[in-house]
Amino acid sequence: MHLSEGIVTATVLAGGTTAAAAGLAVGLRQLKPENVPRVAILSSTFFVASLIHVPLGPVSVHLVLNGINGLLLGWAAFPSIFVALTFQMLLFQFGGITVLGLNTLTMAFPAVLVWIIFGRMVGGRSNILALVGGFLAGSLSVFGGGILIAFFLFLSGEQFLEAGTVALVAHVPVMFVEGFFTSVCVVFLRKVKPEMLDVKWHSERPKLAEHGEVL
């Protein structure tokens, strides 16, 4: 889902970079020191998972994992994804320095959006709703990224309209893979580490003292 250099116009680059910088500022401001290791782990996971690219015209298709990033990090998904994209650019020449902000916005903004929409569903009492919320968060975050890419290409010239449409359609299979993966992660984390999803009910469970009495 990387945009290549030399494709979009300077106006689109400036607008996207400005929006990405704003997202980074909010993400860094809300990032708590105790959550830095979580951001680093998810950034590394994103870096590795999205290394396998299938080139498709001016974009490339790959696993994104922005849905699970958003659910676990909220606004901190911006710095997490930005760091991973920066290392991909420096080490493997994916994307480029001029489109770094635009690529960050393309993947991080949908991540934050699905966190806002589905965060409570994933952290609620119902396991079924959490499963559905995880699938929707994973799939729609990829769809949102595809929409943004198509939109940026369209703004850069009508000659890119077909390329933008192809990019969006190409990510449809990835949507289902991401949705399945995210829902599995949500179910697993609700069982072993519910606080990572901000699951409220886990703290309401009766606590057992050393001799078994309920506190």
Residue 157 has pLDDT above 90, yes or no: no
Q: For 175, which DSSP code?
A: H
Lowest mean pLDDT among 103-107, 130-134, 170-174: 170-174
Helices 77-92, 66-73: inter-axial angle, 10-degree rounding: 140
Domains and CATH numbers, the chain: 10-204 (1.10.1760.20)
pLDDT band for 56, please (50, 70, 90 cuts): low
Residues sharing a CB contact under 8 Å with residue 204, sequence separation 6 or more, in sequence order: none
Higher pLDDT, 156 or 2: 156
User: How much is the mean pLDDT over the chain?
Assistant: 83
What confidence tier does 206 reach under pLDDT thresholds 50, 70, 90?
Answer: very low
39/50 Cα distance (integer angstroms): 16
Q: How far is CA 38 from the centre of its chain?
A: 14
CA distance 103 to 42: 17
Helix axes 100-122, 127-155, angle to 10 degrees: 160
Cα torsion 191, 184, 106, 35 to 10°: value is: 20
121 close to 138: Cβ distance less than 8 angstroms: no
- How many other C-beta atoms lie within 10 A of the C-beta of residue 186? 30
Question: Mean pLDDT throughout 43-68?
Answer: 75
